[in-house]
Amino acid sequence: MKIYENIEAERDRIQQCIQKYGWTSDHNLDWYADSIIEADAKPVFVEFDDGTGLLAHKYPDKWRIWSNPLCSRNNEVKKISEFAIEVFKDNKIEELWCDDVSDNIYPDLKKDSNLKLDKIYYHLYWPVLDMSKYDSNLPGGHFKEMRNAKNKFYREHEVTIRKASELSKNDLIRIIDDWYAYVMKKQKEDIYDIRYRKAVENGFRGFTTARVMIVDGQPVGFNAGYDVPNHPGRFAGVIGIHDYSVKDLGEILYLEDFDWMKNSGYKEVDLQGMEYEWELKMKTQFGAVIERKTDTFSIMKK
């Protein structure tokens, strides 16, 4: 097992592993590198002797595995177990988190007498939409309210869409600041904003698209995403952030993303993991089907 802490120097190595074994919508080198939870974290690539690997974040007292290991599905538990035994040799490391890994992994790891698992912290459900089911006209009674809100929004506001690269990064950071301030008042759970800031700072490297919505001359939100590895025609819409400054803005930004994906010719869209029923209701109303369930949990030092 080799651990590479300079992922920039190992970009080709990591990309080759992702291209060969990647399959979840989190298997993206740059999004994983951006997605640290705390400022003292470092993205690290772990390569096993057989050429498989895993994406991880290293913290002073813990590690976090990012999505499923990059290997065949029937070897995932073995790779996590092997990595856990290795990292716990370091006396400073107290726990190893598995973030959003497939739900078959936890029960099998529980059988390993060498490991001590905490209870599952949370589950996510991941819907995928067949884009042939999405009609940008939003026909029918079910979508009447949404259709009316969309028409009213575009009738009352001047709306333009521009590439993120055409705007100042400060404009996008301001959107994140406003989003974070608003959500902090409403939500008491973990709110991870560093990943969005780093994506902006890094110019959305590794993304297929990053688009900003401008309403009445003011940048108010942006969408960004990329192609899912080894799923031809599947897109992952991983970022949708807005500043809550205009009524119905969230819904309009969401529909802009769908329209862009439809017009770009994508066959499927991974709508990202959702924990709550109200989130799933919003995501599945166009006919999306839940494709997988993931767990987040920690392995503790024995």
Q: Which stretches of 111-224 are DSSP H helices?
A: 144-156, 169-186, 194-201
Q: Give the mean model confidence (pLDDT) for residues 1-11.
A: 97
Q: Residue 277's pLDDT is what?
A: 81
Q: Give the mean model confidence (pLDDT) for residues 131-151.
A: 94
Determine the distance from the C-alpha atom of residue 33 to the mean position of all C-alpha atoms in its chain, rounded to a whole number.
Answer: 12
How many angstroms separate the CA atoms of 204 and 97, rounded?
Answer: 26
Count CB atoms within 10 A of the CB of residue 102: 18
- Which residue intervals of the chain bear CATH 3.40.630.30? 2-124+294-300, 127-293
Give the H/E segment covering residue 283: helix 277-284
pLDDT at 100 over 70: yes
Contact yes or no for 234/99 (Cβ under 8 A) = no
At residue 280 the predicted structure's pLDDT band, cuts being 50, 70 and 90, is confident
pLDDT at 12 over 70: yes
For residue 299, what are the β-bridge partners?
Answer: 96, 117
At residue 67 the predicted structure's pLDDT band, cuts being 50, 70 and 90, is very high
Please tell me the class of the 127-293 domain.
Answer: alpha beta
The CA-CA-CA angle for residues 68, 71, 73, to 5°, reads: 70
> pLDDT for 216-259, tens place per residue?
999 999 999 999 999 999 999 999 999 999 999 999 999 999 99
Determine the distance from the C-alpha atom of residue 245 to the mean position of all C-alpha atoms in its chain, rounded to a whole number.
Answer: 24
Q: Residue 278's pLDDT is what?
A: 78
What 8-state DSSP symbol labels residue 274? Answer: B
Q: Residue 283's pLDDT is what?
A: 80
Find the helix packing angle between 249-263 and 144-156, rounded to 10°: 100
At residue 162 the predicted structure's pLDDT band, cuts being 50, 70 and 90, is very high
Q: Residue 212's pLDDT is what?
A: 98
pLDDT at 102 over 80: yes
The DSSP string of 78-116 is HHHHHHHHHHTTSTT--EEEEEEEETTHHHHHHT-TT-E
pLDDT at 188 over 70: no
Q: Residue 276's pLDDT is what?
A: 83
Please tell me the class of the 2-124+294-300 domain.
Answer: alpha beta
